[in-house]
Chains A and B, each alone.
Chain A
Amino acid sequence: SQTIHQWPATLVQPVGSPLSLECTVEGTSNPNLYWYRQAAGRGLQLLFYSVGIGQISSEVPQNLSASRPQDRQFILSSKKLLLSDSGFYLCAWTRQAQGEKLFFGSGTQLSVL
């Protein structure tokens, strides 16, 4: 069966520090991968998605970047965190077909202080 791992679960970082959140999927190959951010009252904001290794689509110009160094690995990064980067970050995957359900990780609560 397929599983998605996302870590860490909680992270507290000072303003200006770097960020690296990692997400890996097991039990499937060539998944579509997604990063969402959830902020209070704003729902889920799509940040990045990837349909293959090295293919990254950015939805919101901001202080973050994403990379997909391996087929089932998706990394969210920042060189210098801002206060506004605080939020609940969710990784998700789908099979390579349209209209498929998203499978979500358990999320990372990021607090930038």
Chain B
Amino acid sequence: AQSVTQLGSHVSVSEGALVLLRCNYSSSVPPYLFWYVQYPNQGLQLLLKYTTGATLVKGINGFEAEFKKSETSFHLTKPSAHMSDAAEYFCAVSGVGTYKYIFGTGTRLKVLA
């Protein structure tokens, strides 16, 4: 079975500050991990994904995430927030031997001027 927990349904940061969105996963098989972003009334777009190999994954728009197996975490970071980063962010897990993708409850990021 697989599950995802996103800590903090709402996160506010000042423009230019560090963005940190937390994601912990549970998986009975080696996981594939994803971060997606959703702008209002739209579908989701992939930011980055981890499958195998390097544990630090770089994505679009300056975001990156680190896979930490010992902590079962895949937190999303960006060194400097921009107003255009305001959106909802979803962490998702899939895994070896499955075609299911399980999403977390999402974190809404607000960027303050």
Contact = CB atoms under 8 A, between A and B. Distances in A.
Interface of A: 32, 34, 36, 41-46, 49, 51, 57, 59, 90, 92, 94, 98-99, 101-102, 104-107, 109
A99 B41 CA distance: 26
B105 A99 contact: no
B43 A107 contact: yes
Do most interface residues of chain A lie in helix, strand or loop, or is the interface mixed? strand
Interface of B: 6, 9, 32, 34, 36, 41-46, 49, 51, 90, 92, 94-106
Given A98-B94, A101-B34, A90 B99 contact: no
A47 to B, nearest CB: 11
A94 B32 CA distance: 14
Contacts, number: 64
A36 to B, nearest CB: 7
B44 A46 contact: no
Contact of A49 (B9, B42, B99): B99
